[in-house]
Amino acid sequence: MQGVTLPRLFDIHQVPQVFREDSIVSGYRPPHSSVMDCVLSSFQMTNETVNIWSHFLPAWYFLWRLCVLGSRLDVLGDSYSWPLLVHMLLVCVFLFTSSCAHTFSTMSPESRHVCYFLDYGALSLYSLGCAVSYRHYVMPDSWIQSWIHQHFVTIAIGNSVLCTSLSCYSRFVELQRPQTSKVVRTAAFIIPFLFDTGPLFYRVWSRAGSGSESLSSHCYHLLFAVLTCFLFTAHLPERLAPGRFDFFGHSHQLFHVSAVMGTHFQVEGVMADMASRRSFLLGRGAAPSFLDTVAAPLVGLLLNLAVIAAFSTPLLRSAAAPSKEQ
């Protein structure tokens, strides 16, 4: 592109502490980039480029699958399809939000925090979408119409708010207490994951009941989920050779790829359960309703936006104060 200048890159000692990543030495974008600089940087090789595209491209893949499903299913007349469509929509939301967060996170220290607040909120909503589909398609036979089955989505809404709150809070103690920040942020996402997949773990362990055709996909999903958590916490391989994996192969890139693969197998497993268990689930009176499919994510969205606003407001005020003084 003639006349377009790509942003210059910096080493770790040239950027403020808030922008630095563990064991990543080079490839940092300017810490006060414009919107155009951020967009242009996604087309040059930086330490964030693979992070951006590894979620942006899969988002379009899942959006295409969502559109195909929407065209094949009786969306308005058959409420049984709603949990799957909600799940798929929130998969697209979390992938697009993650890609945007990595793209625009270098505009300022405050914008970096807000970008990742939104990223955490989108991940929390994705966990709620998982709970919606798991409640209606994946629940073990013996759990149908139990107390946990009836209140599963309501508890998941609370988990999503807790996840967003803890992960946003973790950014405020990241510089002073990095280990505490890591533990809090990891726990924030492990809690809803363990709750959502509790019914699935039981089905895989017991190997009993309807829907055994889907268990292989679910097992692959669980395997990639464990790998994703390991990559997020271990910072390998870059910790073994700082600077060697700045552009390709560092843990956050692998974390993104593993998360996408796990999501793919999760969707495959949910779709298999949806098809094979339809007669059994509807026969047990487990038909989805508007409240626990469409309304629940909307409530979760409003609550999570309120949490994000509460954490973002003091940051934005502090950023606006110097400009007012000038």
Rounded distance, CA 156 to CA 317, Å?
32
> Is the distance from CB of 134 to CB of 99 less than 8 angstroms?
no
Q: Which of 310, 292, 285, 306 is nearest to 155 (CA)?
A: 292
The neighbouring-strand residues paired with 10 are: 28
In the numeric block, the tokens 């929130």 are attached to 90
Residue 126: HSE in the Cβ half-sphere, 13 Å Cα cutoff: 23
In the numeric block, the tokens 């309501």 are attached to 154
> Is the distance from CB of 21 to CB of 174 less than 8 angstroms?
no
Q: How many other C-beta atoms lie within 10 A of the C-beta of residue 317?
A: 11
DSSP state of 18: G
Give the containing element (helix H, strand E) for 151. Answer: helix 147-172
Rounded distance, CA 294 to CA 305, Å?
17
Residue-by-residue pLDDT tens, the chain, 326 positions: 455 678 899 999 999 999 999 999 999 999 999 999 999 999 999 999 999 999 999 999 999 999 999 999 888 889 999 999 999 999 999 999 999 999 999 999 999 999 999 999 999 999 999 999 999 999 999 999 999 999 999 999 999 999 999 999 999 999 899 999 999 999 999 999 999 999 999 998 887 666 678 999 999 999 999 999 999 999 999 999 999 999 999 999 999 999 999 999 999 999 999 999 999 999 988 789 999 999 999 999 999 999 999 999 998 887 766 555 54
3-class state of residue 146 by DSSP: coil
Measured between its terminal Cα atoms, the distance across the chain in Å is 37
Distance from CA of residue 15 to its chain's centroid? 27
Q: Which of 218, 215, 211 is nearest to 142 (CA)?
A: 211
